[in-house]
Structure 1
Amino acid sequence: MRSTVILITHNAKHHLPQCLPKILSSTIKPRVLLVNSSSTDGTVEEAMRYGVETFVIPRIEFNHGATRELARKRAGGDIAIFMTPDAYLASTDALEKLIQPLIEGKAEASYARQLPHKNAQRIEAFQRSFNYPDESHIRSIADVKRFGIYTFFCSNSCAAYLNQALDQAGGFSPVLLGEDTLAVAKMLRLGMRIAYAADALVHHSHSHSIKQEFQRSFDTGLARASYATQLYCQGSDEELGKLYVKRLIGTLSKENPASLPYALLHTMAKAAGYYIGKKSLNATPSFLKLLSSQDFFWNSIYSECLKSSCDTSGF
């Protein structure tokens, strides 16, 4: 099967020396397409220095879902592997392990296990361990009673899709955030499966401030409110959030009690942002732009998609 790694970038030059070498030396020898939303730091030039194919779009036309769909159609092939430049493969066979469930016919989509970067904050490390356990598994729509909202979880920081299957589901829709989750929800509702490949390792974590976490979670809540009907299942995201807090307190109380106050403040900011976002679907554009982490979205051609659900193909 022909695979293409699609790398979505904006001002990511400093990540490329850590990100590109293992992709380019991957055992599956994929085609690599770097999509750039008009960087100003020399990202495109750095990518070309590595011999990587590049594709540039205006910043105002970028959208997490629509841009990935455009890139996927441009790339063609059998398997589309999406990555972000701050995700570094742990080994040259990581992509081979990522797509193995697809090649073996066990699933139509898969995502890698994310490990924190070496300098990650303790709470970031906990988040990775919570969302990315050490055992692989496969989920289908039949698993909603067991996994709840987590049934549809995926991360395009390192994920693979069978193009034919994604076509059947209508591809990626224009969204504020969560194009991966929405696509997987559509695929699973068509009887497809997603594999969590715990042996496909990638280093990926953030160092967001309290404000940034609030804004990011606001966007997540707002985005999920816009396609809530597709994520409806037994077991809410609030229930998963409660489990997260319980385990966070238990883990940090044992390992690093001094970090608990900041971790709880960090978590409260995320919870508040998410809750406000979910309740803000009908808020004014100025209010949404004020609390959002993505100022470019509100000036883009896709801002109206939030309330109209734009592309409903495959639903």
Structure 2
Amino acid sequence: MVVRPVEDASVALIVPVKNGGARWRSVVVSIQAQTLRPQRILVIDSGSTDGSDQVARTAGFEVHALAPDRFDHGGTRQMAVEMVPECEIVVFLTQDALLERADTLEQLVAALHAHPRAGVAYGRQLPRPEAGAIERHARLFNYPEQVAEKSLEDTQRLGIKTVFSSNSFAGYRRDMLLAAGGFPRRCSMGEDMIAAARILLRGGTVLYAAQARVVHSHGFTVAEEARRYYQIGRMHAQQRSLLARFTSPTSEGRRFVRSELTYLSLHAPWQIPEALLRTIVKYAAYRRGRRSVLLVEQVA
């Protein structure tokens, strides 16, 4: 039986793209197979040289070209939100996040409609079939099976996890997002966490819609993780006044390490030394990123 997609005039789907390759072509197919058809499907292409922009045009998506040196994770997404003023819900997807089922997008939008206080709902991310144990655990830890709605009152219990969200697959109530200040401009990392914190501080909630699933994970090298955590450290230092209501990320880090070691001891004990090395590298890179911001501010 062929299911005809239902167009939802209140929804925009926005995907930043640059050289998405074969994975992007698979993601496009998963978008076309959705039971919910957004009114706007907007691709922000920042200088693809592999034809990713043409793949989007052939699929019938809108494509907005952006110079590579003008792209940043916060400012580009804020620009995209401002480009769809007629839409009530704005869904963000990354070029490598494969919508797992035909109703994935419908499930995310339905979750927002069912929770009127939610300013953002983010979906569950499943590991790639080829993911190793370390990569797989990271997804299972951060994206469990249980649905959850987080408010400011949960800060004492959840700490920094209260503001955890992911624009790899997340939907926002556009009016609530803009009223909270939108995404930060000139932001290279963590724009989703910043937006979630702003929404929470204005009385909204952050919804984890575990029933809306995408396949999305990364097999980062140690060097790539070091660069990533350096940027996270910089973001936390730059946004420390906003994140002051939430506890230090170190407690969450300890919980992650304990969970990872338990998981690896059961599934891949030979990877425990690598996991410990990665933990040391990530922590050192995070601290260095924080210090880089604080030292500049002291000199200034």
Question: TM-score, normalized by length of structure 1?
Answer: 0.87
Aligned partner of 1:26 in structure 2 is: 34
CA contact (8 A) 2:133 2:267 kept: no
- 1:23-64 per-residue CA deviation (whole Å, 9 max, x = no partner) reads 122122112111011112211112112221101111111110
2:108 to 89, 98, 102: 98
Aligned partner of 1:142 in structure 2 is: 153
CA contact (8 A) 1:16 1:47 kept: no
Q: Does 1:85 align with 2:95?
A: yes
- 1:197-228 per-residue CA deviation (whole Å, 9 max, x = no partner) reads 01111100012111010001100110111011
**Amino acid in structure 2 at the alignment position of 1:151:** T
Partners of 2:27 and 2:273 lie apart in 1 by 34
Aligned partner of 2:12 in structure 1 is: 4
Partners of 1:283 and 1:10 lie apart in 2 by 33
Aligned-residue sequence identity (percent) comes to 35
**Amino acid in structure 1 at the alignment position of 2:274:** Y
Q: Does 1:202 align with 2:219?
A: no
Partners of 2:60 and 2:270 lie apart in 1 by 47
Aligned partner of 1:55 in structure 2 is: 64
- 1:225-260 per-residue CA deviation (whole Å, 9 max, x = no partner) reads 101111123532000000111111111112211111
Partners of 2:67 and 2:134 lie apart in 1 by 35
CA contact (8 A) 2:152 2:203 kept: yes
- 1:269-303 per-residue CA deviation (whole Å, 9 max, x = no partner) reads 2121111111110457xxxxxxxxxxxxxxxxxxx
Q: Does 1:228 align with 2:240?
A: yes
Aligned partner of 2:51 in structure 1 is: 42
Shift of 1:106: 4.5
Aligned partner of 1:181 in structure 2 is: 193
Partners of 2:233 and 2:295 lie apart in 1 by 13
Aligned partner of 2:4 in structure 1 is: none
3-state SS in 2 of match to 1:281: helix
Q: Does 1:113 align with 2:124?
A: yes
Question: TM-score, normalized by length of structure 2?
Answer: 0.92
CA contact (8 A) 1:110 1:160 kept: yes
Partners of 1:108 and 1:210 lie apart in 2 by 35
CA contact (8 A) 2:237 2:294 kept: no
Shift of 1:101: 2.6
Aligned partner of 1:311 in structure 2 is: none
Partners of 1:131 and 1:169 lie apart in 2 by 25
**Amino acid in structure 1 at the alignment position of 2:141:** F
**Amino acid in structure 2 at the alignment position of 1:3:** V
CA contact (8 A) 2:117 2:204 kept: no
Give unmatched runs, 5+ long, in structure 1: 285-306, 308-315
Q: Does 1:159 align with 2:148?
A: no
Shift of 1:178: 0.6
3-state SS in 1 of match to 2:128: coil
Range 263-272 or range 216-225, more displaced = 263-272
CA contact (8 A) 1:226 1:281 kept: yes
